[in-house]
C-alpha cells in the first residue's frame, strides 16, 4: 500500500461500522462509494476516503456537509472512522444520473426545455450550498441524479485541489468539467462550480462536453438553442473566473428563471431577538467563516451584569448547540482573549491549557484549531469572534491574525451601526 492511500476494497457482506455493504457504486481519485444497508434497514451510500493525507480535510468537510438541508442536495447522515479508513454516509438517491439520460435518450443531447429544467434545478442546489460557504468542486452529469422530485446534487468532492508537490494529481475532479483555474492549481470558488454547471448544460444539449478550443456555434447545430442561450452558456464558460457569471443565481437569471432559497436551511443561527439583529449576527458569522476559510464560527458577547461570555450567533458545525451557551469570566480560549484583549491563533486546541474541553464536548464539536479575536468598541472589549478548523485541514497561525483582527473591527462597526 502506498503512503497516504488505502487499497482496502469492501465486498458485499462486509461491515463498515454499522453498515453492511451491498455492492460498489463508483470509485475515483478521492473516494470509493458503496451501496450499503444501515442498522434501521434503509439503504445508504457510504463513501470511503482513499487518500489518507486528506483525513483532516475530509473530517472537517464531513461535519459541515452534515448540516446542509435542501431538497436538491444529497443528505449526509453519518461520519465515522475505523481501522480501514474514514467514511461518509449519505442518503441513497434513487434515480438516473444525467450522464445516463444523455447516453440513453440523447439525440445527441436532450431536448432543450428538459436540459434547461435540469440545469435550473441544479442552480438551486448550487446557490444554496454557496450561501453556506460550501463549494461542490465536482459538478458534472454523473453527480446530478434525476429523482422523483427533480434533480439532486450528489457526491461532494470533499477534498479540494491538491497543491504542487502533493501526492497524486494537481487537481481533483473531472478535467472536461473543471474550471481552468483548478487545472492550473489556483483557488476554488463558487465560480468554479458555475463553470462546471455550464459545461454540464452544454453536455446535456450537445451530447458531449465543451473543449476550451471549441468555437463551433451551438445555436447553428442544435434546434432550440437560441443565440441568447448560447451567449449565457459562454458567459458561464469564460476561462477567466472574473469574467464568468458570478453565481449560480446569476446563471439561473440569465437562463430566464430566478431562483429562491426559501427551501434550504441556513447553517447560521443566533439567539432570539429582533429580526434585523439576528440577520446581522448571522451574516457576520457566515461571512467570517467564508473570509477566514473556517468550518465553523461564532460570536460571544459579554453580559454586562454577570461578566459571562454569551454565545450570540454561530455558523457551521456545532452552531445549534453553542448558541446561548454561557462561559464564566476568563474561561476557555475565548474567555482568555476577552480578558487580555489580544487575538490568539491556536494550532492544536486540545493541547492548549486554556481550551474549555468539557464545554466543547457538550456541544458535540471539538475543534482542532482556532483563531479568536477580541471585539473592541471604543477601547473596551465587548466579546470575541471565534473561527474553528480551517477548511483545508491546516492549522491557524500567526499569519492569520491580521485578517482576523481586521474582520473583528468590521464586525464591531456593523454591530455598532445597527
Residues recognised as catalytic: 138
Q: Hey, is 55 helix, strand or coil? A: helix
**DSSP states of 195-216 as a string?**
HHHHHHHHHHHHSS---TT---
Q: Hey, is 386 helix, strand or coil? A: strand
Nearest partner of 18 among 63, 82, 75, judged by Cα: 82
Calpha distance 50→225 (Å, rounded): 41
**DSSP states of 264-275 as a string?**
SPPSEEE-S--H
CB-based contacts of 103: which residues, under 8 Å, 6+ apart?
none
Work out the end-to-end distance of the chain between its first and last CA atoms, rounded to an integer number of angstroms: 57
Calpha distance 392→162 (Å, rounded): 10
* DSSP H helix total and E strand total for the chain: 12, 16
B/e letters for 289-307, b = 16+ CB within 10 Å, e = fewer, are bbbbbbbbbbbbbbeeeee
Beta strand 294-302 pairing with 309-316: antiparallel
Nearest partner of 155 among 29, 342, 287, 37, judged by Cα: 29
CB 217 within 8 A of CB 202: no
Element (H, E) at 252: helix 248-254
Element (H, E) at 45: strand 43-49
CB 269 within 8 A of CB 314: yes
All cell numbers assigned to 164: 504542487
CB 297 within 8 A of CB 407: no
Calpha distance 256→278 (Å, rounded): 32
Radius of gyration of the chain (CA): 23
Torsion of CA 136, 156, 279, 341, to 10 degrees: -90
DSSP 160: -
Amino acid at each position: 500500500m502506498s503512503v497516504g492511500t488505502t487499497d482496502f476494497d469492501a465486498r458485499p457482506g462486509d461491515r463498515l461500522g454499522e453498515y453492511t455493504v451491498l455492492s460498489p457504486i463508483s470509485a475515483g481519485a478521492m473516494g470509493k462509494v458503496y451501496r450499503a444497508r444501515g442498522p434501521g434497514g434503509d439503504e445508504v451510500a457510504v463513501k470511503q476516503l482513499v487518500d489518507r493525507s486528506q483525513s483532516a480535510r475530509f473530517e472537517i468537510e464531513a461535519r459541515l456537509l452534515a448540516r446542509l438541508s435542501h431538497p436538491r442536495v444529497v443528505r449526509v447522515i453519518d461520519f465515522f472512522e475505523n481501522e480501514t479508513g474514514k467514511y461518509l454516509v449519505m442518503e441513497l438517491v434513487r434515480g438516473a444520473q444525467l450522464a445516463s439520460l444523455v447516453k440513453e435518450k440523447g439525440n445527441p443531447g436532450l431536448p432543450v426545455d428538459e436540459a434547461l429544467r435540469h440545469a435550473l434545478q441544479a442552480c438551486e442546489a448550487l446557490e444554496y450550498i454557496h450561501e453556506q460557504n460550501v463549494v461542490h468542486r465536482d459538478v458534472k452529469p454523473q453527480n446530478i441524479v434525476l429523482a422523483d422530485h427533480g434533480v439532486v446534487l450528489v457526491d461532494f468532492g470533499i477534498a479540494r485541489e491538491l497543491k504542487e508537490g502533493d501526492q497524486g494529481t494537481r487537481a481533483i475532479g473531472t478535467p472536461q468539467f473543471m474550471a481552468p483555474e483548478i487545472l492550473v492549481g489556483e483557488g476554488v470558488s463558487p465560480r468554479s462550480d458555475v463553470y462546471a454547471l455550464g459545461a454540464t448544460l452544454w453536455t446535456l444539449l450537445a451530447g458531449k462536453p465543451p473543449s476550451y478550443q471549441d468555437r463551433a456555434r451551438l445555436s447553428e447545430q442544435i434546434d432550440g438553442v437560441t443565440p441568447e442561450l448560447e451567449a449565457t452558456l459562454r458567459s458561464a464558460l469564460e476561462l477567466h473566473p472574473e469574467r464568468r457569471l458570478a453565481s449560480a443565481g446569476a446563471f439561473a437569471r440569465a437562463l430566464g428563471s430566478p431562483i429562491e432559497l426559501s427551501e434550504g436551511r441556513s447553517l447560521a443561527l443566533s439567539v432570539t431577538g429582533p429580526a434585523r439583529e439576528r440577520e446581522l449576527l448571522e451574516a457576520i458569522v457566515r461571512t467570517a467563516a467564508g473570509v477566514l476559510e473556517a468550518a465553523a464560527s461564532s460570536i460571544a458577547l459579554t453580559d454586562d451584569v454577570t461578566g459571562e461570555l454569551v454565545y450570540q450567533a454561530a455558523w457551521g458545525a456545532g452552531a445549534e448547540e453553542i448558541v446561548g451557551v454561557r462561559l464564566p469570566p476568563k474561561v476557555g480560549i475565548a474567555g482568555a482573549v476577552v480578558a487580555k484583549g489580544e487575538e490568539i491563533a491556536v494550532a492544536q486546541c486540545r493541547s492548549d491549557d486554556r481550551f474549555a474541553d468539557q464545554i466543547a464536548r457538550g456541544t458535540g464539536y471539538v475543534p482542532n484549531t482556532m483563531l479568536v479575536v477580541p471585539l473592541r468598541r471604543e477601547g473596551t472589549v465587548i466579546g470575541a469572534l471565534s473561527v474553528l478548523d480551517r477548511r483545508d485541514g491546516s492549522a491557524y497561525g500567526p499569519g492569520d491574525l491580521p485578517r482576523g483582527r481586521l474582520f473583528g473591527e468590521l464586525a464591531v462597526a456593523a454591530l455598532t451601526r445597527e
